[in-house]
Amino acid sequence: METPILNPYRPGAGHAPPYLAGREQEIENFAKLLDQRIIIKNCIVTGLRGVGKTVLLDEFKTVAIREEWLWTGNEISESVALTEGRLCTRIMADLSMVTSGLSIKKIKEEAIGFTPNETGTDIFLNHKNIEFLFQDAPGLESDKLKYILEYAWQQIKQNMPQIKGLIFAYDEAQSLSDYEKNKTYALTMLLDVFQSIQRKGIPFMLLLCGLPTLQAKLIESRTYSERMFTVLLLHKLSDKDSRLAITKPIEQENCPIRFNEISINLIIKTSGGYPYFIQFICKETFDVFLQQHSISKELGVPIDSIMLKLDDEFFAGRWAIITDRQRELLWVIAHLENCEEEFTVQEIVSESKKYQITAFGGSQVNQMLSSLTANGLIFKNRFGKYSFAVPQLNEFILRQNTNRQ
Ligand X SMILES: Nc1ncnc2c1ncn2[C@@H]1O[C@H](COP(=O)(O)OP(=O)(O)OP(=O)(O)O)[C@@H](O)[C@H]1O
Site for ligand X in 295-334 (CB under 6 A): none
| The binder of ligand X chosen from 43, 55, 133, 310 (CB under 6 A) | 55
Q: Which residues contact 121 (CB under 8 A, 6 or more apart)?
A: 105
Q: Which residues contact 279 (CB under 8 A, 6 or more apart)?
A: 9, 10, 11, 12, 15, 17, 245
Give me the helices (H) in 202-260, please.
Answer: 213-221, 225-228, 239-252
Contact letters for ligand X, residues 234-253 (x by CB under 6 A): -----------x--------
Q: Smallest gap, in angstroms, from Cβ of residue 51 to ligand X? A: 4
Q: Which stretch binds ligand X (CB under 6 A): 51-59, 84-92, 316-324, 345-353?
A: 51-59
Q: Smallest gap, in angstroms, from Cβ of residue 280 to ligand X? A: 8
The Cα 395–Cα 384 span in angstroms is: 24
Of ligand X, Mg ion, none, which one sits near residue 73, judging by CB under 5 to 8 A according to partner kind?
A: none
* C-beta of 232 vs 329, nearer to ligand X: 232
312-to-117, 133, 229 alpha-carbon distances in Å: 52, 50, 37
* C-beta of 54 vs 129, nearer to Mg ion: 54
Q: Give the 3-state secondary structure of residue 44.
A: strand
| Beta pairing partners, 207 | 43, 169
Q: Smallest gap, in angstroms, from Cβ of residue 53 to Mg ion? A: 5
Q: Which H/E stretch holds residue 45?
A: strand 42-46
| Beta pairing partners, 230 | 43
Give which of 17, 79, 57, 21 is closest to 236, Cα–Cα. Answer: 21
| Residue with smallest beta-carbon separation from Mg ion | 54
* C-beta of 76 vs 145, nearer to ligand X: 76
**Contact (CB, 8 A) for 146 and 161:** no
Contact letters for Mg ion, residues 51-90 (x by CB under 5 A): --xx------------------------------------
Q: Determine, following the binding rule CB under 6 A, whether residue 52 of this chain makes contact with ligand X.
A: yes
Q: Which stretch binds ligand X (CB under 6 A): 44-52, 195-203, 224-232, 317-325?
A: 44-52
Q: Smallest gap, in angstroms, from Cβ of residue 57 to Mg ion? A: 8
DSSP conformation class of 165: E
Q: Determine, following the binding rule CB under 6 A, whether residue 387 of this chain makes contact with ligand X.
A: no
**Contact (CB, 8 A) for 263 and 38:** no
The Cα 113–Cα 319 span in angstroms is: 54
Q: Smallest gap, in angstroms, from Cβ of residue 13 to Mg ion? A: 6
Site for ligand X in 4-23 (CB under 6 A): 10-15, 17, 20-23
Which chain residues interact with Mg ion by CB under 5 A?
53-54
Binding site for ligand X (CB under 6 A): 10-15, 17, 20-23, 47, 49-55, 245, 275-276, 279
